[in-house]
Structure 1
Amino acid sequence: MIELTAPELAPRSIAVPAPPQWPTQSAAEIAAQRARIAQLLTERRAVLVAHYYTDPELQSLAEETGGLVADSLEMARFGTETDAEMLVVCGVRFMGETAKILNPEKRVLMPDLRATCSLDEGCPAEALTAFCDAHPEHTVVVYANTSAAVKARADWVVTSSIALPVVEHLAAQGQKILWAPDKHLGRYVQRVTGAEMLLWNGACVVHEEFKSFALERMRALHPEAAVLVHPEAPDAIVAQADVVGSTTQLIRAVTELPNRAFIVATDAGIFWKMRQLAPEKQLLPAPTAGEGATCESCAHCPWMAMNALQNLEQVLISGDQEIQIDAAIRDRAVLSIQRMLDFAREHGIGRPTKTT
């Protein structure tokens, strides 16, 4: 394996917001608000699409109203398959942008357009374009956690559930890969596939918080537990995993492995779906405690936390917070996204994890 790095790319400082403080609601108030939102979805001919990392109230509401709870790949597919006139995307901005790129004729709303992603923020289109132009012999593969403008510069877009087979396919053709933006996922893909890859220096602020020494101690306390790790985590965390995979793959592991307990190293929002599908299993959040930590396990994206029932209802009333994509960017970005979707279909990759 040839390992290439990009030492000239210094890590970019990302301003991480404090998680929003939503007003406390009684069970009756929550039920009433959910009923109002369901009615608004019907009136607007809208469908709710939520990521596994969002609040459990949003995930359950999406399923109850005929929407979808899924990973990035299935969220992208779903918008093209539904006959709804409006997509309401609960997640972060790149997910809403992807939905709009694939469905330019539909309105795409989000509860808060400020909900971004540290990977997206750490990979500006202008800087990536300059990096790509400096290495024209490389095929540009970008993670889905990027802006529409970055996707417009890419040859391929991938999600964590499809990154390995795509890069393996390209490497088999002798192609050299320029990968952006997640260096941890890039290194994992590089190790598994043996591809020649040049890596952008980006990382997820949530997954970087997992602490390897603390995980080692937790494993010693729970030797029966399988360790499930998302590949956005650092190498020292991935090295301790029994299963490394996308959100959907980790959820599937909880339902299929015989272990009664699991240590889970990804965003805590995933526990709702895991508990729904495997209520008898013990789920333990991987530790983020360590030097400079403020809690034992605080792995939850602050931008995902910007999605809540309160602003979801408001956006359905007002119709604002709508995703808009420049037509020229959309025309280029749709090519790299569609290439991923076509590859997934041809190779039978993915489909949502269903409630059983």
Structure 2
Amino acid sequence: MLNVLENYKFPAKEKPLSEKESEKVINEIKILLKDKNAVLISHYYTDPIIQKLTDETNGFIGDSLQMAKFGKEHPSKTMVICGVRFMGETAKILSPEKKILMPTLEAECSLDLGCPPKKFNDFCDSHPDRMVVVYANTSAAVKARADWIVTSSNAIQIIEHLDQLGKKIIWGPDRHLGSYIQKQTKADMLLWDSECIVHDEFSSKLLKDMKYLYPDAAVLVHPESPASVVELADVVGSTSQLIEKAKTLMQKQLIIATDKGIFYKMQKAVPEKELIEAPTAGNGATCRSCAHCPWMAMNTLKKLKEALTTNINSNEVFVDEALIPKALISLDRMLKFKN
């Protein structure tokens, strides 16, 4: 993996608000959203208190592409994106005429950081015979270089389609997801070497131990996880796919190998089932994420309120206008793709 994360200093965690303080800030945010005719759009991996507020204000919770599509179709001219920076950029690319705000513009993504545009461009230039397919978890500049953009829910179908056309592929940035797709499709794929710090830390050894403790449980795994973890799964899928599959599984206990932020929506979908966190290799304080993205955790009530008041000018998302039409080409290809 490109060693871009070693020197990254995660921001200090905010002092948590008391229950009374949280209630006060939540009520203030509800008023601000209404006054500014803004809609709250949050990722499955944000804090449950953010997701609950999103539900209560008739906003939307979903994966990165679902978030951007909802915002594009929503009548509000202001979107508040709770997630990481590339999600705000994707929303801006699809809705350039709208104001896009985020609780913080410092919320990064290890996949985005692990795929610097210049290095990725050089990599693509050295393989001109290959079509460039990138995961949605990338910067606007990388999306602009791509021929196709995919999500974890449609990547296999799109790669199969391109393989049937005889295309050789450059894949970026997640090597685990790329390896999983390559194994499923047998396509000729050259993989960029990066990873999600959350999913990379799930441990097959510890997961085997957990399966022994819960022999009747089903194991649900996101394909950004290492191959040894994916091999132990009963279900492999995107965040949305895992939630949907949880509804139809017969098992009453589910071991979940993805960011634990998903538990909010999944538990609402299957209130009668027990959700169990899959173990991470970090085994506690030594891990980088401990099954929760440190950048997603930056989306707090305090920052959200500030984005709608004192920081409203500095928390707006902008994308280089020259990149938008280029990125839209690859996004539109995906949106128009039919299996």
Which residue of 292, 317, 331 maps to 1:337?
331
- Give the aligned partner of residue 260 of structure 2: 268
> Is 2:65 the partner of 1:73?
yes
Preserved CA contact (<8 Å) 1:73 1:161: no
- Give the aligned partner of residue 179 of structure 1: 171
The one-letter code matched in structure 1 to 2:242 is L
Preserved CA contact (<8 Å) 2:4 2:113: no
TM-score where L is the length of structure 2: 0.95
The one-letter code matched in structure 2 to 1:75 is M
How many Å apart are 1:16 and its aligned residue? Answer: 4.7
Q: Secondary structure at the match of 1:112?
A: coil
How many Å apart are 1:291 and its aligned residue? Answer: 7.4
Q: Distance in 1 between matches of 2:124 and 2:290?
A: 35
Q: Secondary structure at the match of 1:327?
A: coil
1:303/1:290 CA distance change after superposition, 3 Å: closer
Q: Secondary structure at the match of 1:317?
A: coil
- Give the aligned partner of residue 311 of structure 1: 303
Preserved CA contact (<8 Å) 2:85 2:105: yes
- Deviating more after overlay: 309-318 vs 15-24: 15-24
- Give the aligned partner of residue 30 of structure 1: 22
Preserved CA contact (<8 Å) 2:176 2:195: yes
1:21/1:292 CA distance change after superposition, 3 Å: closer
Q: Distance in 2 between matches of 1:299 and 1:156?
A: 29
The one-letter code matched in structure 1 to 2:4 is S
Q: Distance in 2 between matches of 1:26 and 1:119?
A: 33
Q: Distance in 2 between matches of 1:293 and 1:58?
A: 24
Q: Distance in 1 between matches of 2:8 and 2:201?
A: 13
> Is 2:269 the partner of 1:277?
yes
Q: Distance in 2 between matches of 1:29 and 1:170?
A: 52
Q: Alignment length, in residue pairs?
A: 336
Q: Secondary structure at the match of 2:24?
A: helix
- Give the aligned partner of residue 7 of structure 1: none
Q: Distance in 1 between matches of 2:66 and 2:265?
A: 15
Preserved CA contact (<8 Å) 1:77 1:341: no
Q: Distance in 2 between matches of 1:11 and 1:114?
A: 20
> Is 2:213 the partner of 1:216?
no
1:53/1:291 CA distance change after superposition, 3 Å: closer
> Is 2:171 the partner of 1:195?
no
Q: Distance in 2 between matches of 1:195 and 1:289?
A: 30
Gaps (5+ residues) in structure 1?
1-9, 348-356
Instruction: For 1:64-213, list aligned pairs within 5 A.
Output: 64-213=56-205
How many Å apart are 1:292 and its aligned residue? Answer: 8.7
How big is the alpha-carbon RMSD for the aligned residues of Structure 1 and Structure 2?
A: 1.7
Instruction: For 1:8-27, list aligned pairs within 5 A.
Output: 11-14=2-5, 15-18=7-10, 20-27=12-19
TM-score where L is the length of structure 1: 0.91
Q: Could you give the per-residue CA deviations for residues 153-178 of structure 1, whole angstroms, max 9, x where no partner exists?
A: 00011111111111111111111111
Stretches (4+) displaced over 4 A: 289-293
- Give the aligned partner of residue 52 of structure 2: 60
Q: Distance in 1 between matches of 2:239 and 2:264?
A: 12
> Is 2:287 the partner of 1:300?
no
Identity, % of aligned pairs?
A: 54
